[in-house]
Amino acid sequence: MTTLKGPGIFLAQFLGDNAPFNNLQSICLWAEALGFKGVQIPTWDSRCIDLKQAAESKTYADEIKGIVENAGLQITELSTHLQGQLVAVHPAYNELFDGFAPKEVHGNPAARTEWAIQQLKYAAKASENLGLNAHATFSGSLLWHTVYPWPQRPAGLVETGFKELAKRWRPILDVFDASGVDLCYEIHPGEDLHDGISYEMFLKEVNNHPRACLLYDPSHFVLQCLDYLEYIDIYHERIRMFHVKDAEFNPTGRQGVYGGYQSWINRAGRFRSLGDGQVDFGSIFSKLAAYDYKGWAVMEWECCLKHPEDGATEGAIFIRDHIIRVTEKAFDDFAGTGSDEAFNKKILGI
């Protein structure tokens, strides 16, 4: 067994225009002071990293790594959640998702997709240059608008959608494989990979690609009423990343999973700061330790009530206190009687 690494923090929700959140060095110093040991870096934010330069220049990548390490931290992983979303976009979402891409490709879905794919390829090489072995992203979606089918889905629609999704991702997965990095999809509503079944459908279409791995985030499963503990039992061999994020689901006679178009604070399902929701993190950390998860425990803060700085302060302590330092001995070793093959046979009467 392996002791989980952490606590780490995903920087995306904390970056801003004011110090200490406006550049990589100062936000790392802030995170280290709270007790974090690692940072997960969003690659779309130039205040942290120039992704293309990190892919093309090992010297630059070493500079980024040095900034983080000089603050007493490690880089846990890079993230391309926004770029990954743009690998597959249904036309109904074109205008909304244009905001994730540079202005020069707005209004041009084909160019936007090409840009996103190149971004993922840069991320593979940048991760390699930084000495990382896992990377976070979204799958994007061609089918999400049919998730609750009315009218009914035409025969073959789902199969065609997943074949196209796999066609777009397979070359990216091969680039990650060449760089020795696992590509970890965050299973998330709004993505075609939003639960275990949809992930399995995708995995089949990419021929069980060894780099098509998982970012485990139980909060999204609470909001789907999915068994997030059994999920670990089923998919632990593919789980390479872990977002420690809390959530609660409190359905009423007026609303349930879909939320009634309400704001986050008024939804039955809400993300919460660590310890304020319903996720059984004690069982999660135990299962990951038992299954020899070798990655980081990274806090992703998303809460509609608590101030983010308070969430971060409490989150570092919460993760630290949940990480299990695994044992190297059995608790009943003191009662051992020794063993060899002859002794074992004697006990068995053979």
pLDDT tens sequence across 210-243: 999 999 999 999 999 999 999 999 999 999 999 9
Q: Which of 77, 80, 145, 92 is nearest to 116 (CA)?
A: 80
In Å, how far are 122, 126, 158, 341 from 170, measured between CA atoms?
Answer: 15, 19, 18, 50
User: Which tokens go with 318?
Assistant: 């919460």
Radius of gyration over every alpha carbon of the chain, rounded to an integer in angstroms: 22
Residues 158-167, mean pLDDT to the nearest whole number:
98
pLDDT at 8 over 90: yes
**What is the tens place of the pLDDT at every residue in 70-111?**
999 999 999 999 999 999 999 999 999 999 999 999 999 999
Q: Prior bond to 20 cis, omega within 30?
A: yes
Mean of pLDDT values over 158-169: 98
285, pLDDT greater than 70: yes
51 pLDDT exceeds 70?
yes
- Give the pLDDT of residue 332: 67
Single-letter amino acid code for the residue at 155? A
Please give the backbone phi and psi of residue 5, each rounded to the nearest 5 degrees, phi first: -90, 145
Range of the domain at 101: 5-348
* pLDDT for residue 30: 98
Contact 64, 28 (CB under 8 A): no
Tell me what percent of the residues of the chain surpass a pLDDT of 70: 99
As a whole number of angstroms, the distance between CA 8 and CA 38 comes to 4
Three-class DSSP category at 105: helix
Q: How many CB atoms lie within 10 A of CB 208?
A: 10
Contact 274, 315 (CB under 8 A): yes
Residue (of 284, 200, 283, 276) closest to 238 by Cα position: 200
Q: Tell me the three state secondary structure of residue 339.
A: coil
pLDDT exceeds 90 at position 335: no
CATH number of residue 278's parent domain = 3.20.20.150
The full DSSP string for 150-192 is SSPPPTTHHHHHHHHHHHHHHHHHHHHHHHT-EEEEEP-TTSS
Cα 311 to Cα 33, 66, 221, 231, 321: the distances in Å are: 14, 27, 21, 26, 15
Residues 6+ apart with CB under 8 A from 262: 255
pLDDT above 80 (res 271) = yes
Residue 336 clears pLDDT 80, i.e. is over it: no
- What pLDDT score was predicted for residue 241? 98
Residue 307's pLDDT band, with cuts at 50, 70 and 90, is very high
Total number of domains constituting the chain? 1
Give the length of the chain.
Answer: 350
Of all residues in the chain, the percent with pLDDT exceeding 90 is 93
Per-residue pLDDT averaged across 25-41, rounded? 98
How sure is the predictor about 299, in pLDDT bands with cuts at 50, 70 and 90?
Answer: very high
Question: Quick one: pLDDT at residue 334?
Answer: 61
> Does residue 333 carry a pLDDT above 90?
no
Query: What pTM did the predictor assign?
Result: 0.95
CA–CA separation, 237 vs 217, rounded Å?
Answer: 15
pLDDT reported for residue 185 = 99
- Nearest alpha-carbon partner for 145 in 133, 153, 137: 153
Gap between the Cα atoms of 165 and 140, Å rounded = 8
Question: What are the E-state strand segments in the chain?
Answer: 5-10, 38-42, 74-80, 134-137, 182-186, 212-216, 239-244, 246-249, 269-272, 296-299
| Cα separation, 191 vs 144, whole angstroms | 7
| Alpha helices per DSSP H over 180-244 | 196-205, 219-222, 228-235
- Compute the distance between CA of residue 258 and CA of residue 113 in angstroms, rounded to an integer: 29
**Mean pLDDT over the full length of the chain:** 96
Structure tokens at 89: 């976009």
Q: Residue 91 has what pLDDT?
A: 97
pLDDT band at 340 (very low <50, low <70, confident <90, very high): confident
